[in-house]
Amino acid sequence: MNLEDTIVAVSSPPGSAVRGIIRLSGARAFEIAEGVFAASDGRRLPDCGGGLHLDGTLRIADAGLPASVALFRRPRSYTGQDIVEIHLLGAPGVVGLTMESLLGGGARRAEAGEFTARAYLAGMMDIAQVHGVAAMIAARSDGQLQAAENLLHGALSRAANGAREELADLLSLVEGALDFADEPIEFITPDQLRERLGSVRESLQGAADAGLRAERWGRLPRVVLTGAPNAGKSSLFNRLTGMDRAICTPVAGTTRDVLSAPLQLRHSECLLIDAAGTGEATSDVEARAQDAARRESANADLLIEVYDASRGRPSGRGGLSAASSLCVANKSDLLASGGLAELREWAGNSSSDTICVTSALTGEGCERLRRMIEDGLGDRPMDRNDATIALMAEHREGLQGAIAAVEGAIAIASASGDSLENADLVALELRTAADALGLLVGQDLADDLLGRIFARFCVGK
C-alpha cells in the first residue's frame, strides 16, 4: 500500500442504479477527476476549495452525461487526503468507462479497505472505529446498524481510553510506593486502590455488556412452534414461510429434525422454527427429537403452542406454559360451522391478543397470526438510545482480559493490610490491563494484524 498514490474505486453497490459513486483519494485526486468532469460554471477543480458540490458534465466515450462532484480538501476529509466523489448515472457501462478513464489519468485501483486504512494511518480514527466501519457495512438490521454506529462514533474508544488513563494514574502511584518502599510515604491505600479499580471494572464491564446486548439484537428473534404431535405445526410452518420444507402427513411424529426458515413480518423479520411434537416418546429417535424440540423452546424469544382444534378445546388459555406467549387453535377447517363459532367465541371473538384460530390448509387466520407474532416480539426492538456496541471477537477478548487483570489487582489489594503489600504484583496486573486496552484502540498493532483487519473490507470503503 503506497500512500503517495492517488487511489480510485467504485463506492456504490454493484449493479444498475439511478446513481453510482466513484471515489478518489490522494494528492492528485482533483487533477485526475478534472480529466473526466467539467463543472457547469467553468471552475477548475484544482482551484476549488473543499466542502463544495458542483454540477457539471461527465466526458467519456465522446459523450457528455450529467454528473456532479463533491470535493473534500485535506486534512478535513475521511482519509485526511484530498477526496473527490463523482456522482454519475449508475449504469454499469457508464461506471466502468469512467473508472477506466480515471485509471488512465494516473489513479490506481484501491485495495480492499484502503480508504479506511488511510483514515486510520492519518489519525482520523482509531482501530475500534475502523471496526465500526466494517460493522456498518455488514449490518443487516436497524439494531446492528445502531450498534455499529456507536462503535464508529467512539463508544468503545472512550471507555478504553478512559480506563487506560485511570490505570496509568494508579500505576504511577503503585510504582511510587515501590520506589519509596523504605520511606514513610503513603501514595495510595489498599481501600483507595480497590475503590478506583472497582470503578474501572464497572466501566469496562458496561462496555462488554453493551456488546452482549448488540449480539442479542443483532440476531433474528427465534419463534418456535410447539405442541402435541400431529397438531399441524409443520403444515403451519409451510403455510407461514411459503416454503414446502416440512414433511406433512396424518401420521403423528413425522417431524424429527429441527427446521428453520426466515419469516417476513410487516416491519421486521424472525426465524420460525418447527420441531418435533412433545409427548410420550415411543422410540429412542423420537425421544432425541423431543429433546431437541425442548432445547429450541428453551432458547425461544416467542413460543407458539399449536393444538388440533378438531379434537376439542383445551382447558384454560390453550394450556400454555409460563414461557409461552401465543396459542394457536389449528385445523379450524375440520370443524362444522357451529363448532367453529364456539371456538371463535372462546378465543374472544378473534379479539384476543394471545389466541388465534387458524387453518394451515386454507390459510384462515394466518395473516392475523403474523401480526400477533410481530406484536408478541414488540418488546424486543432496540431502543435507539440503548448504548449497545458492535464488538468484534478481538474486542471481547481484550475487554475480558483487561477485566480479569483489574480483578486480579483488586484481589491483591483486598488481601493487603493497612498498607499496600505486593505492590509489584499489583503493578503487573495494571500493566496487563492497560496493554489489553491499548490493543482495542490500535496501540502497538503489528502490520500483519492491520492487514487482516482491512482485508475484511470491500473495495471502495
Domain ranges of the chain: 7-125, 132-216+387-441, 222-376
Does the domain formed by 7-125 have CATH 3.30.1490.20? Answer: no
Cell 409451510 sits on residue: 238
Per-residue pLDDT of the chain (461 residues; tens, 9 = 90+): 788 999 999 999 888 889 999 999 999 999 999 999 999 999 999 999 888 999 999 998 888 899 999 999 999 999 999 999 999 999 999 999 999 999 999 999 999 889 999 998 998 988 888 878 877 777 766 667 777 777 788 788 888 889 989 998 888 888 876 766 555 556 688 888 989 999 999 999 988 888 776 665 556 788 888 888 878 888 899 988 887 655 554 444 455 568 888 888 887 778 888 888 776 665 677 778 778 888 888 878 888 888 888 776 655 444 444 445 788 888 888 877 767 777 766 666 444 567 888 888 888 888 988 888 888 887 554 444 455 666 777 788 889 999 999 999 999 888 877 677 788 898 899 999 998 888 777 665 455 545 655 665 666 66
| 132-216+387-441 CATH, one of 2.40.10.120, 1.10.287.890, 1.10.540.10, 1.20.120.430 | 1.20.120.430
Cell of 209: 455488556
In terms of pTM, does the model score above 0.85? no
pLDDT for 323 equals 47
pLDDT for 384 equals 44
Class in CATH terms, 222-376: alpha beta
pLDDT for 265 equals 84
